[in-house]
């Protein structure tokens, strides 16, 4: 590739990864190649050590208390499915928001066909959630409030602490989808009081794809989504009920988990506050420059304090995928166009079915990259304006 | 090391090793004897004389254990000793 790559698709998966992550994966495969928790030989123990040290690291990182309450999954979608199918039964009432990703919306729509009653609270076009409406919708037979921590389309951050308190006020549980925020914004599970939190390892936590997890509060039993070998209770043909084994059937992605640990350690050294401040600064720079470009429409909240490193925009009369293609082909800028697996969020923003162009910044992006990208968008805007003239 | 702690899940065995070592006790992960536990993974060897301190440390860290066993050399292997007393 002779054009320098500017990677603005960190909301899909982060890139590049810290070199430590790549090294940890290689080292794990070379040195800890056994199957964790299945045997007593040193390679099996070494693999189990990788898994359990990572679990403890994550429990500390999220201030989650007992590490056994964090179970590893393939990704956040998997974690969300464990939580939703494990908790909800016909007749249960569930409340969610209109800016959820399909990883929440599709399981909920499926559960709706199986007798779960679903209430979707409409957010404002910038993604802001009307808290009063949430409180009015929650009722005594509400089992669960499901909310994203931040929109993957608009970048809007929702107040999970207030939402957890509102859910608890009616005796409901609160499940948070932290796909966009784990590693990008500080998350303190104890302080926020959330009951379940799904996270992915390959986004802001800087780990490899195929890693993620679910936090389940102590004392809360969630039926497993899958059953199988766990290395424990092997004299029985029924699934063990204890954590973490109940939700960890089959061999874990040990090498991936080793990489995830390296990503989390990197973040711990850098500081999640520093990551959040860096991304916020990039968003402010982006928005200031974007405001100077004629025909560029910005979506999402104006207040930088209520958003993460995700921005969405459109250029007048240019299709979002067309813009993203030109950004890649001509400028080496990786952006994601379209509906971002979140049609409900785009309906909320008024950008359905056309979608938007999304830039999602990460720790490794720089102000120079923003400047380069904005110059490119300036050129593209001129081209788009001419395109209008040609087609009239 | 003549003591052995068995666990329901390897997760707890690994945590127990860390807790005991941080507490200044000897601890070594070994393959869990099949006759003592249906767990395919590991068990933890330690000094049986330290059992009260060990169990106290594990309790404090909420590390769940299956049972504490003592190795009796005159017999032909590991025997469940004081299982009722120590089983959690």
Fold of B3-79: Alpha-Beta Plaits (3.30.70)
Is B38 within 8 Å of A66 when comparing Cβ atoms?
no
Beta-strand runs (E) in A241-323? 296-299, 310-315
Q: What's the pLDDT tens digit per position in A3-24?
A: 589 999 999 999 999 999 999 9
* pLDDT over 90 at B85, yes or no: no
Give B31's pLDDT tier (boundaries 50, 70, 90). confident
The verdict on B29 touching A (C-beta cutoff 8 Å) is yes
The model's confidence at residue B63, banded by pLDDT at 50, 70 and 90, is very high
Give the per-residue pLDDT at A301: 95
- Higher-pLDDT residue of A251, B71: A251
DSSP string, A91-132: T-EEEEETT--HHHHHHHHHHHHTT-EEEEEPPPTT----HH
The answer to whether A240 contacts B11, with C-beta atoms less than 8 Å apart, is no
The answer to whether B41 faces chain A, any CB pair under 8 Å, is yes
Among candidates A41, A67, A68 on the partner chain, residue whose Cβ is nearest the Cβ of B31: A41
The answer to whether A40 contacts B30, with C-beta atoms less than 8 Å apart, is: yes
Contacts of A245 in chain B (CB under 8 A): 8-9, 11
Q: Indicate the DSSP class of residue B32.
A: P
Question: From residue A245, how far is each of A233, A289, A298, B36 by CA, in Å?
Answer: 10, 50, 46, 19
Q: What residues of chain B lie within 8 A of the CB of A53, using their CB?
A: 14
Any idea where the domains of chain B sit in the sequence? 3-79
Burial class (CB in 10 A: 0-12, 13-18, 19+), B28: middle
Given this model, what pLDDT does residue A39 score? 85
Q: What pLDDT was estimated at residue B74?
A: 57
Residues of chain B contacting A40 with CB distance shorter than 8 Å: 29-32, 41-43
ipTM for the assembly:
0.78
Predicted local distance difference test score (pLDDT) of residue B46: 96
Intervals of chain A under pLDDT 50 = 1-2, 392
Taking the CB of residue A312, how many other CB atoms lie within 10 A of it? 28
Contact B40 A41 (CB under 8 A): no
What pLDDT, on the 0 to 100 scale, is given for residue A5?
95
Residue A38 is predicted with a pLDDT of: 86
State residue A304's pLDDT score: 80
Residue A52 at interface with chain B, using a CB cutoff of 8 Å: yes
What is the predicted pLDDT for the residue at A99?
98
Average pLDDT over chain B, rounded to an integer: 85
> What is the pLDDT at residue B78?
66
CB pairs under 8 A between A and B: 80
Q: B62 — contact with chain A (CB < 8 Å)?
A: yes
- Which of A123, A174, A308, A341 is flagged as catalytic? A341
Q: Based on the residue annotation, tell me whether A308 is a catalytic residue of this protein.
A: no
pLDDT bin (cut points 50, 70, 90) of residue B84 is very low
Interface test with A, best of B15, B40, B78 (most A CBs within 10 A): B40
pLDDT one-digit tens code per residue, A221-271? 999 999 999 988 888 999 999 999 999 999 999 999 999 999 999 999 999
Judged by a CB distance cut-off of 8 A, whether residue A67 touches chain B is yes
Q: Which of A189, A213, A187 is nearest to A82 (CA)?
A: A213
Q: Are B10 and A231 inside 8 Å of each other by CB?
A: yes
pLDDT exceeds 60 at position B37: yes
> What is the pLDDT at residue A297?
95
């Amino acid at each position: 590739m002779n054009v320098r790559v500017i990677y603005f698709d960190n909301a899909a998966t982060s890139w590049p990864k810290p070199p430590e992550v790549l090294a940890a994966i290689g080292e794990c495969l070379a040195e800890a190649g056994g199957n964790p928790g299945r045997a007593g030989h040193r390679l099996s123990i070494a693999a189990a050590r990788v898994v359990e040290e990572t679990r403890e690291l994550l429990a500390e990182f999220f201030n989650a208390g007992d590490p056994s309450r964090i179970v590893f999954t393939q990704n956040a979608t998997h974690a969300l499915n464990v939580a939703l199918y494990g908790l909800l039964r016909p007749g249960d009432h569930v409340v969610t928001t209109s800016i959820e990703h399909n990883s929440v919306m599709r399981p909920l729509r499926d559960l709706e066909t199986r007798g779960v009653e679903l209430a979707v609270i409409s957010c404002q076009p910038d993604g802001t959630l009307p808290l009063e409406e949430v409180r009015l919708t929650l009722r005594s037979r509400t089992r669960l409030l499901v909310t994203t921590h931040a929109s993957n389309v608009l970048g809007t951050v929702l107040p999970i602490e207030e939402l957890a308190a509102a859910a608890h006020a009616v005796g409901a549980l609160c499940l948070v989808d932290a796909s966009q925020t784990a590693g990008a914004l500080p998350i303190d599970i104890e302080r926020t009081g959330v009951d379940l939190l799904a996270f992915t390892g390959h986004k802001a936590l800087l780990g490899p794809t195929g890693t993620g997890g679910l936090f389940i509060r102590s004392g809360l039993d969630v039926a497993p989504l899958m059953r199988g070998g766990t290395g424990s209770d092997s004299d029985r043909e029924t699934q063990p009920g204890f954590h973490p084994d109940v939700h960890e059937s089959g061999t874990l992605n040990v090498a991936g988990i080793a990489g995830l640990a390296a990503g989390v350690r990197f973040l711990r050294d850098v500081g999640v506050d520093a990551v959040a401040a860096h991304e916020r600064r990039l968003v402010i720079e982006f928005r200031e420059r974007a405001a100077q470009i004629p025909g560029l429409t910005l979506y999402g909240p104006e207040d930088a304090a209520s958003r993460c490193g995700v921005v969405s925009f459109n250029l007048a009369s240019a299709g979002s995928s067309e813009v993203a293609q030109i950004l890649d082909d001509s400028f080496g800028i990786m952006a994601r166009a379209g509906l971002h697996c979140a049609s409900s969020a785009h309906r909320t923003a008024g950008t359905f079915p056309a979608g938007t162009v999304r830039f999602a910044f990460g720790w490794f992006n720089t102000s120079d990259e923003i400047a380069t990208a904005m110059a490119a968008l300036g050129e593209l805007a001129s081209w788009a304006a001419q395109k209008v003239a040609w087609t009239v | 090391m003549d003591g052995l702690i068995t666990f329901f899940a390897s997760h707890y065995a690994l945590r127990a090793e860390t807790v005991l070592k941080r507490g200044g006790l000897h601890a070594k992960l070994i393959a869990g004897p099949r006759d003592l536990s249906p767990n395919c993974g590991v068990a933890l060897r330690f000094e049986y004389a330290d059992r009260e301190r060990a169990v106290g440390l594990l309790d404090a860290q909420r590390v769940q254990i299956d049972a504490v066993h003592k190795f009796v050399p005159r017999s032909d292997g590991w025997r469940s000793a004081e299982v009722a007393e120590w089983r959690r």
